[in-house]
Amino acid sequence: MANTETALKECLSSIDGATAAALVDYTSGMALGTLGGGKDFNLEVAAAGNTDVVRSKLRTMELLGLKEEIEDILITLNSQYHLIRLLKGRGGNGLFLYLVLDSSRANLAMARHQMRRIENELEV
């Protein structure tokens, strides 16, 4: 079992191309923990903005009458991938893991696989 800090460290160290990670509460839009990012990438802004992304998708699914759950959301930019993984179970409800990847160095399939593993080990 890993706590928030270890899980975020694990994200950056074990996933190739990862440059920033955050654990975000999308009921409030605030981050429970952030790692990486630096001065030119404000993870607080990313947490608030991506909360809107998640809420918007959940609302759309509700309107469409889909009784499904979001496993993850992938956003592809010119040089980055942004991965949002919604946590399930064990108090992880209402939380998502947010990962920024450098697309020239990242392996998407591997990144998703590792995110799933980190989620399973995470205890909030």
Partner 1 sequence: MAVETDVLDELRRLRTRVPRLAGSLAATVDGLVLAHDVPATEPEGLAALTAAALGVAHRMTDAAGRGDFRELLVRGAHGYIATYAAGTTAVLTLLADDRVNVGRLHLEGRRSGARIAELVDARIGPGGGRHADRPAAGDGAPDPVDRSRPIGTLPVRTPQRPAHRPRTGG
Q: Which two tokens stand for residue 19?
A: 């440059």
Asked if 120 interacts with partner 1 (CB under 8 A), we say no
Identify which of residues 50 and 114 has a Cβ nearer to partner 1 in the complex.
Answer: 50
Q: Rule CB under 8 A: is residue 102 a binding residue for partner 1?
A: no
Q: How far is Cα 38 from Cα 36, in angstroms, rounded to an integer?
A: 6
Q: Does 76 bind partner 1 (CB under 8 A)?
A: no
Does residue 27 bind partner 1 (CB under 8 A)?
A: yes
Closest to 91 measured CA to CA, from 36, 32, 30, 49: 32
SS3 (DSSP) at 8? helix
CA-to-CA distance for 3 and 11, rounded, in angstroms?
Answer: 12
Sole binder of partner 1 in the list 6, 12, 32, 44 (CB under 8 A)? 44
**Contacts with partner 1, residue ranges (CB under 8 A):** 24, 27-31, 44-45, 47-49, 51-52, 55
